[in-house]
Amino acid sequence: MIKYIKNILKQKRLFIMYYSLGTFLYMLLLITTFPSFLSQSKSYSKILTSIPKVMLKAFGISAQNKFTLLTYLGGKYIDLLLPLILIFFIVSFVNSQIVGQIEDKTIGLVLSLPISRLKIFISKYISGIIALIIFIIFAVISIIPLASIENFKYSTIDIYLISILTFIFGISILSFSFFISSLFSSRGKSTMVISSTIFVMYVFNVVYSLSSSLKSLKYFSIFYYYNINYIFQNNNIDISYIIVFSFVFVIFFLLGLFVFRKRDIDI
């Protein structure tokens, strides 16, 4: 099982590296431009105050009176762009592991290994978790050494909290993606279902911010629980976010495992 996990990670090492390094370089670019932004922060603040608060809330922008490196990265990168990159990363990884192998007719080689379907699924899932952790190290935790080199002030606690929130958000997407991937034999159909579901949840998150009569929609959007501004304001993660992400993670992991073990796979 461990050998199979190592083999998966070896095969996907370039994929993981490209996503992680690409995200890291974009964040590095933002950090190096932070001093220029800071010099224009008063003008930026005036622009934000002229925008309706509901619009700012809808797109995850916080009108900060005090600008810091983390609030800057939050608005430019962490709050919206990072979860989207993470979703593409996870969906691409997962689709290559189950539905991609079914579509390419290589799943037979995997199923012929002297390990059960249970262990095959768990091995693929653990590989996804390891890939997710590597991605987060480059995409979030690396803020610490980069900010230290530039002598920017930052909250180490907030960075770790953002990393934790990003991880539990990512592992929820991972579980859901594995479940959907286990249902189909075509990458296109699997990707369409996952992407459509996530897009609908994103729309729900925007709509609830714009309409007081549709506030209940927020509870059906995973993006509502990925609330970076809450961390900035309270220096902790709302327990309800952890509960929701944990529930999604467990339920879809078990459903994906059940489907993968029981379905007939044409090899």
The pLDDT mean for the chain works out to 82
CA neighbor of 248 nearest in space, from 224, 216, 217, 214: 224
Whole-angstrom distance, CA of residue 25 vs CA of residue 31 = 10
Give yes or no for a contact between 171 and 130, defined as CB atoms under 8 angstroms apart: no
Mean pLDDT is lowest, of 74-78, 124-128, 174-178, 222-226, for 74-78
Residue reference for tokens 């090492």: 13
Q: What is the pTM of this model?
A: 0.86
Look at residue 32 and tell me whether its pLDDT is greater than 80.
Answer: yes
To which H or E segment does residue 182 belong?
A: helix 156-183
Region 73-91: mean pLDDT is 86
pLDDT digits (tens, 9 = 90+) for 137-169: 999 999 888 888 877 877 889 899 999 999 999
Residues 6 or more apart whose Cβ sits within 8 Å of residue 16: 9, 93, 131, 134, 135
Q: Please state the separation of Cα 13 from the chain's center in Å.
A: 19
Residue reference for tokens 């189950």: 98
